[in-house]
Amino acid sequence: MQTLPFPHESATLMLDGPAGPLEVGVDLPDGEAAARPIIAVICHPLSIEGGSMHNKVVTMVSRALRDLGITTVRFNFRSVGASAGTYDNGEGEADDLRAVVNWVRSERPDAALWLAGFSFGAYVSLRAAAQLQPQALISIAPPVGRRTWDFSEVQPPANWLVVQGDADEVVDAHSVYQWLESLPNPPQLVRMPDTSHFFHRKLIDLRGAIQHEVRRWLPDGSN
């Protein structure tokens, strides 16, 4: 299997994945932010409903983290964009995530791994967290109660943030809150009032919420 070097500048790559090539976008920190030894891999929403690594919520999560000096890796699940394969209801997509993480860890072994996901991507990253053992996890609008996706056996890390819109028209926010309350180790939760599933007119607020909550996880504890 071909191994590509981790880029030294923002770039789009094609990695060898379990179902064929995977389209991957690497984005380095923005502006004057000093680069930190952290790489966050971000998972996009449902492939069969138009989700991709170019989704506005996904790109805003990337921007929020890059502002803090974190390198981000977005990628298209199988069947999306230039990624090969067919939709697999989260099972094959978890394999795709593992392939991307294995590449990141092989090329940047000294960097801490963070995972993030929006909607379906939150499900995939949560289900993979037990095996991948990220240092931190960000779940945006996890689709609790949708389709046949099972959240009963997830094992998120101690550093876990959930952001949920109270007016989500796709995911039942009440179901999300009930599920989180049932967990022995609930996450940091940000409830965003009057906020829809795709954070229409709330993307800047989402960026601020993420940055405010994850700063405590940074290696130097900076504000």
Q: What is the pLDDT of residues 94-151, one digit of tens each?
A: 999 999 999 999 999 999 999 999 999 999 999 999 999 999 999 999 999 887 899 9
User: The tokens of 223 are what?
Assistant: 């504000």
Q: Which amino acid is at 3?
A: T
For residue 3, name the pLDDT band (cuts at 50, 70, 90): confident
pLDDT for residue 1: 44
- For residue 3, is it within any domain? no
101, 180 Cβ separation under 8 angstroms:
no
Identify the residue with better confidence: 218 or 31: 218
Report the domain count for the chain.
1
Inside any domain, residue 140: yes
Q: Are 77 and 25 in contact (CB under 8 A)?
A: no
Q: How far apart are CA 23 and CA 36, in angstroms?
A: 24
- Whether 223 is covered by a domain: the verdict is no
Between the CA of residue 32 and those of 20, 68, 111, what are the distances in Å? 37, 9, 20
pLDDT over 50 (residue 37)? yes
Determine what percent of the chain is predicted with pLDDT higher than 70. Answer: 98
How distant, in Å, are the alpha carbons of 102, 113, 140, 177 from that of 143? 26, 23, 9, 11
In a domain, residue 2? The reply is: no
Residue range(s) defining the domain that contains residue 154: 11-217
DSSP state letters, 3-34: -PPPPSS-EEEEEEEBTEEEEEEEEPPPTTPP
pTM: 0.96
Has residue 105 been placed in a domain?
Answer: yes
Say yes or no to pLDDT of 201 above 90: yes
CATH number for the domain that contains residue 156: 3.40.50.1820
- The answer to the question of residue 5 being in a domain is no
How far apart, in whole angstroms, are the C-alpha atoms of residue 64 and residue 41? 13
Residue 222 lies in a domain: no
pLDDT of residue 33: 83
- Collapsing DSSP to helix, strand or coil, 136 comes out as strand
Cα–Cα distances in angstroms (integers) from residue 207 to residues 63, 121, 152, 191, in the given order: 8, 18, 29, 14
At what angle are helices 91-107 and 120-132 packed, to 10 degrees?
A: 60
Answer whether residue 98 is part of any domain.
Answer: yes
